Structure 1
């Protein structure tokens, strides 16, 4: 019986390997605002859904790194759904505590920006397949608000 189940799983996975899957890209990472204890950034992620039905996003996991150190990470549960046969913009807010920003003074001091690496995992719930993670990575620099 277990051989039959394994054959069925292999058949389904082979057939689904050729099926189009949602694709995503990081469009922008920009400074959002300053609060009493942190600086907030906003990553805008574009996700294209090739299916004729909406697809729920289970969660978004993120890791924000600078100077080879993780300076922020988190999970955004249930950020919504992907529109059917369309592109959906997903906002990923990233909050970086001032204490960490101050420890990056060498990088910030020269040009008043942060060189970063943003790693994202969009976990979506595909019918029949189940949870599927779209991995993304973006490198760049974000300007800090000028004190002058």
Structure 2
């Protein structure tokens, strides 16, 4: 003999009626039909069997109440899940931590906000950098992290532009120029219930293709002269061939007269070098003339002597700090008196000789 328990809970969400039906069905081992809030027991057995089941009624009722509470909690969780929202994202900044003649490192800051009660993973980040519709670089960053529940996080996307690759691909992009760019980013996130979502982002800006400055040692003026130690000034002409201004911070250099190094140094020097402009810089130097042989005597006699110069300049630009090389091979310079005009034309004197 057996009993049929017919149970119906009006207080539960309608979406859980089916689940409750099957759980109650398993407990009672029979079919169900609609009744009031309290379970209705229909007797179909003998009195002895009914008496035995009455002893167990209280225990079974407590168990069913626990099942009811459990399913109610599940219903609340499902309702919360149905209310999950789509994360939002925005490009907040673009940084250029490194730029030189060979490459530019770019970091894109993306602020991602998660409105959901659980953390969400960033599955992939796809990025593309283009200029006037032409691809400069693209890539994929997998497993980019997790955004905490009801939180936000700035995700940093590192990119690198290799200038040689760009110039080989697009011959019309010239060194020293400024080109427009567009960064496109697709964030792929995984949200419970909603599944995988793609959040597209874009940001535009400008990036330079740097060109190294030209440098000339126009003349050397002596402050004090002796064969043991001479103090002189190197008068340098620095030409900026870029389409943007440079702010000189410092330079390091080494100078050779003929085949002999007269030394070098690293100096802090401030000067503005305007775009496509020329700036003159004076650099003090100390050396021993007795080590130079014929190169020095050629200078003393008014003849030009060959020189070479290599080094680097540290400059600020509208796009960030740069360290650019400077070099001059096979140049010619002359000895000048201390107070002579800087605009002395070496080429004219070469012609007169």
Q: TM-score, normalised on structure 2? A: 0.33
1:130 to 195, 200, 222: 195
Match of 1:49 in 2: 114
1:68 to 125, 133, 157: 133
1:88-127 map, 5 Å: 88-102=153-167, 103=170, 105-106=173-174, 109=177, 113-127=178-192
Match of 1:58 in 2: 123
Alpha-carbon distance in 1 for matches of 2:157, 2:85: 25
Alpha-carbon distance in 2 for matches of 1:107, 1:134: 35
**What do residues 35-84 of structure 1 show as CA deviations (whole Å, max 9, x unaligned)?**
89532110000011001211000010000111321101000000101121
Greater radius of gyration (CA): 2
Structure 1: 5+ residue stretches without partners? 1-15
Match of 2:143 in 1: 78
Q: Which has the higher strand share?
A: 1
- In the TM superposition, structure 1's runs of 4+ consecutive aligned residues that sit over 4 Å from their partners are 34-37
What CA RMSD, in Å, does the superposition of the two structures yield over aligned residues?
A: 2.7
**What do residues 125-148 of structure 1 show as CA deviations (whole Å, max 9, x unaligned)?**
111222111011111224265448
SS of corresponding position for 2:202 = strand
Alpha-carbon distance in 2 for matches of 1:108, 1:51: 48
How has the CA–CA distance of structure 1 residues 125 and 108 changed in structure 2, closer, same or farther, with 3 Å as cutoff? farther
How has the CA–CA distance of structure 1 residues 22 and 144 changed in structure 2, closer, same or farther, with 3 Å as cutoff? same
| Cα distance, 1:114 vs structure 2 | 3.8
Alpha-carbon distance in 1 for matches of 2:93, 2:186: 16
Match of 1:10 in 2: none
| Cα distance, 1:19 vs structure 2 | 4.8
| Cα distance, 1:28 vs structure 2 | 1.1
Equivalent residues of 1:52, 1:84 under 8 A apart: yes
Q: How many residues align?
A: 130
Equivalent residues of 1:114, 1:144 under 8 A apart: no
Alpha-carbon distance in 2 for matches of 1:66, 1:107: 15
Equivalent residues of 1:30, 1:43 under 8 A apart: yes
